[in-house]
């Protein structure tokens, strides 16, 4: 019996010191391949503008290096944005074989920043290999990968924990702007409380000075 809780912990632990996607995806396929029996191939396909290309995997060398846009079971998982389970691939017309030993296939979409960036594909030489429990538990492993991994090299976005927040926009009066420059203030929040204490005469003088230089 597979201890899926242990596999989830192993994936989480593998991401403690390194968040980049290649090491985590590589460790994930090794953890799955070494601990879930009856699997002949497991790997990730990653998405680009032309379809899906082969990522980290374990098993026999795949005859499929790239999957065209909209073709195969992986494309079906992306279109549905959900798991695809095919207990017998030989009866599925859209199946693209990567390993001749495969009889059964399980595929999950992989997300980052709420977009699909690829899929996890798991193949078995046993018909109807994956029970409902297997499918639910492997889905949780995929979720752990999504939560633990920095995919910014693929998405072009910074991780949510470090992504810079847009600066606040203010309608700063031009005399306040001038006062900020003269006072070498760095932010609106720093200068506004001081400026608010100025007399009308001092504010008017700043306005006149600004108009002379504008």
125 and 198 in a single domain? The answer is no
For 150-203, how does the pLDDT look when each residue is reduced to its tens digit (9 = 90+)?
998 888 765 554 444 444 444 555 556 555 555 544 455 555 666 666 777 877
| Residues contacting 183, CB < 8 A, separation 6+ | 191, 194
Per-residue model confidence as pLDDT tens digits over 63-103: 778 887 777 888 899 999 999 999 999 888 777 777 788 99
Q: Same domain, yes or no, for 109 and 185?
A: no
Read off the pLDDT band of 38 (50, 70, 90).
very high
Is there a single domain that holds both residue 24 and residue 65?
A: yes
* Cα 181 from Cα 161, distance rounded (Å): 33
Which of the residue ranges 27-41, 43-57, 131-145, 174-188 would you say has the lowest mean pLDDT?
174-188
Interatomic CA distance for residues 73 and 50, integer angstroms: 16
Q: Which of 191-202 are b and which e, b meaning 16 or more Cβ less than 10 Å from the residue's Cβ?
A: bbeebeeeeeee
| Shared-domain flag, residues 129 and 194 | no
Q: pLDDT tens, 106-142? A: 999 999 988 999 999 999 999 999 999 999 999 999 9
Q: Is residue 163 part of a domain?
A: no
Q: What is the pLDDT of residue 64?
A: 79
Instruction: Read off the tokens for 83.
Output: 């798991």
Note the pLDDT of residue 67.
Answer: 80
What local confidence, expressed as pLDDT, does residue 186 receive? 46
Is position 89 within any domain?
A: yes
pLDDT above 90 for 210? no
Q: Are residues 151 and 178 in the same domain?
A: no
Q: Are residues 33 and 100 in the same domain?
A: yes
**Does residue 143 sit in the same domain as residue 190?**
no
Pair 149, 179 in one domain: no
Instruction: Note whether 133 and 62 are same-domain residues.
Output: yes
Q: How many alpha carbons fall within 13 Å on the CB side of residue 137?
A: 17
* 160 lies in some domain: no
* Domain extent for 34: 4-155
- Co-location of 67 and 132 in the same domain: yes
10 in a structural domain: yes
| Residue 181 belongs to some domain of the structure | yes
The pLDDT, as a whole number, for residue 62 is 80
Task: Return the pLDDT at 115.
Answer: 92
At residue 27, the pLDDT reads 96
Domain count, the chain: 2
Which one-letter DSSP state was computed for residue 61?
P
Q: Is 179 part of any domain?
A: yes
174 compared with 149, residue with greater pLDDT? 149
- Shared-domain flag, residues 143 and 46: yes
Q: Are 150 and 183 in the same domain?
A: no
Q: For residue 123, what is the domain's CATH number? A: 3.30.450.40
Confidence at residue 161, expressed as pLDDT on a 0 to 100 scale: 45
Nearest residue to 191 (alpha-carbon basis) of 209, 170, 210: 170
Q: What is the mean pLDDT of residues 21-30?
A: 96
Tell me the C-alpha distance between 145 and 11, whole Å: 7
The pTM of this model reads: 0.71
186 inside domain: yes
Q: Is residue 192 part of a domain?
A: yes
Rounded to 5 degrees, what are φ and ψ at 128?
50, 45
């Amino acid at each position: 019996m597979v201890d899926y809780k242990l596999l989830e912990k192993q994936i989480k632990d593998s991401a403690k010191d390194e968040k980049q996607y290649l090491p985590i995806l590589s460790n994930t396929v090794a953890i799955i391949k070494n601990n879930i029996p009856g699997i002949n191939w497991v790997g990730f396909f990653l998405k680009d503008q032309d379809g899906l290309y082969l990522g980290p995997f374990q098993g026999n060398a795949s005859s499929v290096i790239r999957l065209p846009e909209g073709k195969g079971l992986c494309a079906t998982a992306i279109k549905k944005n959900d798991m695809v389970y095919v207990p017998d691939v030989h009866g599925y017309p859209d199946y693209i074989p990567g390993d001749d030993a495969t009889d059964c296939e399980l595929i999950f979409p992989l997300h980052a920043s709420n977009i699909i960036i690829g899929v996890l594909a798991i193949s078995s030489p046993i018909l109807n290999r994956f029970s409902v429990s297997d499918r639910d538990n492997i889905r949780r492993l995929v979720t752990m990968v999504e939560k633990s991994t920095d995919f910014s090299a693929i998405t072009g976005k910074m991780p949510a924990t470090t992504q810079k927040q847009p600066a606040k926009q203010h309608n700063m009066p031009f005399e306040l702007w001038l006062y900020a420059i003269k006072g070498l203030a760095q932010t609106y929040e720093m200068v506004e409380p001081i400026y608010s204490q100025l007399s009308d005469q001092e504010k008017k003088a700043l306005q006149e000075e600004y108009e002379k230089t504008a």
